[in-house]
Structure 1
Amino acid sequence: MNLTTPKALARLAGLLYLLLALLGGWAELGGRGSLVVAGDAARTAANIAGNESLFRLTMVADILMATVFVALGLVLHRLLHHVSERAATALLVFVSVGAGSILVNLTFQAGALVTATQPGHPAELVLLFCTLHQQGYVLGGVFFGLWLLPAGYLAYRTPMLPSVLGVLLMAGAAAWVADPLLAFGLPDAPEVIRTLVEVPTTVAELGLLAYLLIRGVRTPQGVDLPGA
């Protein structure tokens, strides 16, 4: 792949974005989701102790996800920095902080693993570590949202991407930030509200992922795209 062209950089960004989604989705839903039982400390501790390798693999997936996230930020910065250096730098900063929060949050999962695999472990402490990790995931959504704001601005400003995609990304950014605000500020709110808040984010991110993978970037007639 010739990475000196915008289209190649865009496709690479799409591949990294897809890998990011697969790693994060499997770790949170397919891995931990099958082991951690909300409200049941004994079963959670037993599941982790009996499936130590799987639990460790979810940590590996999150470490790789954080690494891929930074790589995605670097590629998008390279692709779009000519549109606005400040916005592209803000994107990279938010991505880096978001990736760092993923790694810091893994401390709680490591604590759950160490506790669950010790003889005579307190099951309640295992569940507490898992709960703190889950809450940290929600809080980390702030930076998963903030990086979409400069990304949306850049997409709106450049002729390489549809302006409507930029608007969707900025709306998705607001939704990402709104989710932890609802989770901690209005914990008794109906679950359907948080589900509805997730819709703009899902549409925006899937739209960006699909566009980068399938189209790459567009080349409007009469517009010279900068080289990488």
Structure 2
Amino acid sequence: MLLDNSHLTARRHARVAGAIYLLNVLTGIFALGYVPAQTGGHGDAVATVQNITAHEGLFRAGIVAGAICYLAFLLLPLALYRLLGATHRIASVAMVALAMASVPIGFVTLGHKLDVLTLLGQAPWLHPLSAAQVQTQVMLQLDAYGNGLLLAQVFWGLWLLPFGWLVIRGRQLPRLLGYLLVLGGLSYVADFAAQLLVPGYSDTAFASYATTPAALGEIGTCLWLLVVGARPAATA
């Protein structure tokens, strides 16, 4: 009976973590991938402003989705701690701390998108600005948004290192997922460094796929938690 209860508890904790993870993944894909693809102008200020104006509702929805994504990411490491914490306490605390450190950066970064909406609004004090000046300010805010995401990416990578190690050591989930998570964490950090240190890196084909291991590891872990669940911790 004790064994059955431990299996049920582990599975319940896994399903909760998987559901939060899925919310984080879906809102992240929408806010960080789909919306920018529809509202961006490929560096053209005029086209960018036109696209945002034409898809203002989508732009606003992206901000809301981003906020939900960061809120889910605030809860996710706590849910994973309940599941994996018995494997190694220090690594589990590091996982939680590194993941949560990215959340304030994410919310501050979202503020730049709110500033874009302000610039494109009809406030009387904006009337003295010419169209070119508004477009320049919009691009500056979007660049600041991108820079904030780049900083957050450091923590998106670092938290995966203890997370993946816990998966590998605890064997509550397939070890392959743990290796992908660790590799994904390293790829996030390497991509951050390359974008700052390697001229022209962002324009290379490799840059588009640099964080693929992280996507495979995180989406795979999310689906495994949600569909299959997890085994009890070895130390239980």
Structures share fold, TM-score greater than 0.5: yes
Q: Give structure 1 stretches of 5+ with no counterpart.
A: none
- Other-structure match for 2:42: 38
1:193 and 2:197 aligned = no
Determine if contact 1:171/1:201 at 8 Å carries over to the other structure. Answer: yes
Change (3 A) 1:40 1:204: same
Deviation at 1:135, TM superposition (A): 2.8
Change (3 A) 1:131 1:99: same
- Other-structure match for 1:212: 225
Determine if contact 2:86/2:235 at 8 Å carries over to the other structure. Answer: no
User: Which residue, out of 123, 127, 133, partners 2:135?
Assistant: 123
Deviation at 1:38, TM superposition (A): 2.3
Structure 2 distance, partners of 1:205, 1:224, is 22
1:153 and 2:165 aligned = yes
Q: Could you tell which deviates more after superposition, 137-146 or 201-210?
A: 201-210
Deviation at 1:197, TM superposition (A): 2.1
Equivalent residue of 1:49, what SS? helix
1:91 and 2:104 aligned = no
Q: Give the structure-2-normalised TM-score.
A: 0.85
Structure 2 distance, partners of 1:155, 1:63, is 28
User: Which residue, out of 75, 79, 82, partners 2:83?
Assistant: 79
Deviation at 1:140, TM superposition (A): 1.4
Count of matched residue positions in the alignment of Structure 1 and Structure 2: 222
**Deviation per residue, 1:78-127 (Å, 9 max, x gap):** 11111111111111111111122110111211221111224445211111
Q: Give the structure-1-normalised TM-score.
A: 0.88
Determine if contact 1:10/1:79 at 8 Å carries over to the other structure. Answer: yes
Please give the root-mean-square deviation of Cα atoms over the aligned residues, in Å: 2.2
User: Which residue, out of 22, 44, 60, partners 1:56?
Assistant: 60
Structure 2 distance, partners of 1:165, 1:46, is 42
Structure 1 distance, partners of 2:208, 2:36, is 21
Equivalent residue of 2:57, what SS? helix
Structure 1 distance, partners of 2:71, 2:54, is 28
Deviation at 1:177, TM superposition (A): 0.8
Deviation at 1:207, TM superposition (A): 2.2
Query: Larger helix proportion, structure 1 or 2?
Result: 2
Which residue identity is paired with 1:127?
A: M
Once the two structures are aligned, what percentage of the paired residues are identical?
Answer: 32
- Other-structure match for 1:184: 196
Q: Give structure 2 stretches of 5+ with no counterpart.
A: none
Structure 2 distance, partners of 1:145, 1:58, is 23
